[in-house]
């Protein structure tokens, strides 16, 4: 998704290895309901589903990129990834 375009469920799962299938599914459904992600189901066997950021979702990229930049600076400053603060 994002600047990288359409992603299938398995591709998203690979990008977030610690997430469960159920949690990813719940989050994608919520993002779809909020108009941030679109979901397209292809009438194939087995069914193929693709997710993509909507135009509205793309407006969030600068915010997410800013948060990611902050996180990288924090890791550089502290020399470690901080999971709980």
pLDDT given at position 21: 95
User: Which tokens in the block code for residue 2?
Assistant: 């994002």
Contact yes or no for 11/58 (Cβ under 8 A): no
- Which ranges of the chain have pLDDT less than 50? 1-2, 85
Q: Model confidence over 9-22: pLDDT tens digits?
A: 999 999 998 999 99
Residue 45 phi/psi, 5-degree rounding, is -125, 120
| DSSP H/E element including 69 | helix 61-78
The set of residues, in sequence order, having a beta carbon less than 8 Å from that of 3 and lying 6+ positions away, is 61
User: Which tokens in the block code for residue 27?
Assistant: 């989050």
**Entry pTM:** 0.77
Query: What span, in angstroms and rounded, lies between the C-alpha atoms of 53 and 44?
Result: 22
């Amino acid at each position: 998704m994002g600047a990288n375009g359409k992603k299938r469920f398995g591709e998203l799962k690979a990008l977030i290895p610690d997430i469960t299938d159920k949690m990813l599914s719940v989050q994608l459904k919520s993002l779809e309901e909020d108009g941030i992600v679109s979901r397209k189901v292809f009438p194939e066997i087995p069914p193929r589903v693709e997710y993509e950021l909507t135009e509205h979702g793309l407006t969030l990229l600068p915010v997410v990129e800013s948060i990611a930049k902050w996180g990288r600076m924090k890791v550089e400053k502290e020399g470690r990834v901080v999971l709980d603060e």
